[in-house]
Structure 1
Amino acid sequence: MIVSSILGLLVGVVLGLTGAGGGILAVPALVFGMGWTMQQATPVALIAVAGGAAVGAVEGLRKRLVRWRAALLMALAAFPCTFLGVHSAHQLPQRWLIGIFAAVMLLVAARLLGGARRNAEPATESSMALARIDAKTGRIHWTWPTAALIAAIGAVTGFMTGLLGVGGGFVIVPLLRRYSGVSMHGVVATSLMVIAAVSSGGVAIALLHGAVLPLPATAWFAGATAAGMLLGRRLVKTLSARQVQYGFALVLALVACGLLVKSLAAI
């Protein structure tokens, strides 16, 4: 239980520091640290990510940062795609899943490095914003293209959640920042709300597919992740956004390389 607690604490700290993307490390932590397959690690990781995201989402709700209509639409669009992702994960060989996961981590790392180098905050409202903010009400101006965009983001998030056991913050955050006028704080808070809901649904779907939860390890990992989330939220005040991006990108790249080695060794 000590190993699962340490792993959960580390994942939670990264989740707290990055706001939404740290959950991508939960599955690799369990694969390397506990020696599990991805199919075994996925439901445990999702429980931990859901708990950690819920902690951040509650904070966002208290501060009125969550765009709850967008979060609800994304969650509804995500659930059927999560089922498809879980089913696909059980059909693919282990080495393919590991290879796909590593590729996704490398893409996220590259995006983070690019953002850190530009060192510029995206404009609140851009010509590419399909989900615009009403200047009078401060709310999203809903149109059919807006609804289609939000639903599509939710669908991709749901599939990735089911396939790889990740929260999906690495999908939601960059797409909402690029195509909406929502502030960064609002994007992160909304993302955490969606992650909490979709990850919980992913656990239920995985259990329906025959996944078995090792209850003691799951409880310790999830509890430590929630504690680490709170610690990370405190630590983030001492670091710049650029430092967090560079550090997270480096960790992702190293873990991805380890996964690639593991995938090639399985051939």
Structure 2
Amino acid sequence: MLAMLLGGVMGLVLGLTGAGGGILAVPALVLGLGWSMTQAAPVALLAVGSAAAVGALDGLRHGLVRYRAALLIALLGALCSPIGIYLAHRLPEKILMGLFSLLMMLVAWRMLRREAPAPGPSDHGSASWGQKNCLLNQQTGRLAWTAKCSATLAALGAVTGVVSGLLGVGGGFLIVPAFKQLTDVQMRGIVATSLMVICLISAVGVVGALRAGVVIDATGGAFITAAIVGMLVGRGVSGRVPARLLQVGFASLCLGLAAYMLYTAAR
């Protein structure tokens, strides 16, 4: 029952925030159920990836996913994820918990920063060449695939893959701000693309962990199922909750969990 409750809350937050909420999955398993980081990582990835798949399919249905960019990022993530998994099985538990706590603090800081709203009513942003590494073609609405754009997205995928394998997170907290900084895609397209990448990279990470001998038991299965249900509920009510309230609430939760994980690691 506790696993289902924690999974439901994680899925709800993921559905409300669009991306990044999956970072709560590992703390829920480590602090809530007493699992180790290496036990929690594959279950967290599978829960986050399954929930993200729901959002990604919805994004594809509405034509919001930049699927070529998502596939490139996921491909590099898949190639680099085993590096993170290798490190995760060799680093001490305290180091892993410390790294995860710092990561949560970074996510909270980015959430609390106030940013000016992006211009443009559609999924087409506005920027001039030289300001962004990847720009949309205003006639076709698709990304202009230059060498600079391809290299940028490939590098983003590599970093996301390593972090995903190391800490058991989907990578939305990296992909969303990076897309906002490096492209002129509007936010709804960024979130949909991020969810597709999270789904693909999480699947690769889970396969790698299972090959390394990690077993997902009935408790993990209950957590994953509840996360999917929570994701559906979160997406259904997300439009009724003020965005700034979501950001502040999520950031505060991240800071509290990060502090507790640091305290637990220090003990």
TM-score (norm 1): 0.95
Rounded to whole Å, the distance in 2 between the matches of 1:244 and 1:114 is: 13
One-letter identity of the residue aligned with 2:174: V
Tell me what 2:35 maps to.
36
Identity, % of aligned pairs?
48
One-letter identity of the residue aligned with 2:39: Q
Residues 105 and 256, structure 1, Cα contact 8 Å, conserved in 2? yes
Rounded to whole Å, the distance in 2 between the matches of 1:179 and 1:35 is: 39
Tell me what 1:57 maps to.
56
Matches within 5 A, 1:54-203: 54-115=53-114, 118=115, 120-123=116-119, 124-126=125-127, 128-203=131-206
Tell me what 1:211 maps to.
214
How far did residue 60 of structure 1 move?
Answer: 0.2
Rounded to whole Å, the distance in 2 between the matches of 1:165 and 1:13 is: 18
One-letter identity of the residue aligned with 1:217: T
Question: Secondary structure of the equivalent of 1:189?
Answer: helix
Question: Secondary structure of the equivalent of 2:89?
Answer: helix
One-letter identity of the residue aligned with 1:104: L
Tell me what 1:251 maps to.
253
How far did residue 235 of structure 1 move?
Answer: 2.1
TM-score (norm 2): 0.95
One-letter identity of the residue aligned with 2:206: V
Unaligned runs of 5+ in 1: none
CA offsets per residue over residues 126-179 of structure 1, 9 Å max, x none?
353111000110000010000001111111111111000001000000000111
TM-align CA RMSD: 1.0
One-letter identity of the residue aligned with 1:227: V
Question: Secondary structure of the equivalent of 1:20?
Answer: coil
One-letter identity of the residue aligned with 2:167: L
Residues 118 and 186, structure 2, Cα contact 8 Å, conserved in 1? no
Count of residues paired in the alignment: 260
Question: Secondary structure of the equivalent of 2:185?
Answer: coil
Unaligned runs of 5+ in 2: 120-124
Tell me what 1:234 maps to.
236
| Runs of 4+ deviating beyond 2 Å | 122-128
Question: Secondary structure of the equivalent of 1:87?
Answer: helix
Residues 122 and 177, structure 1, Cα contact 8 Å, conserved in 2? no
2:25 is equivalent to residue 23 of structure 1: no
Residues 15 and 233, structure 2, Cα contact 8 Å, conserved in 1? yes
CA offsets per residue over residues 176-230 of structure 1, 9 Å max, x none?
011101110000000000100100100000111121221x112211110010001
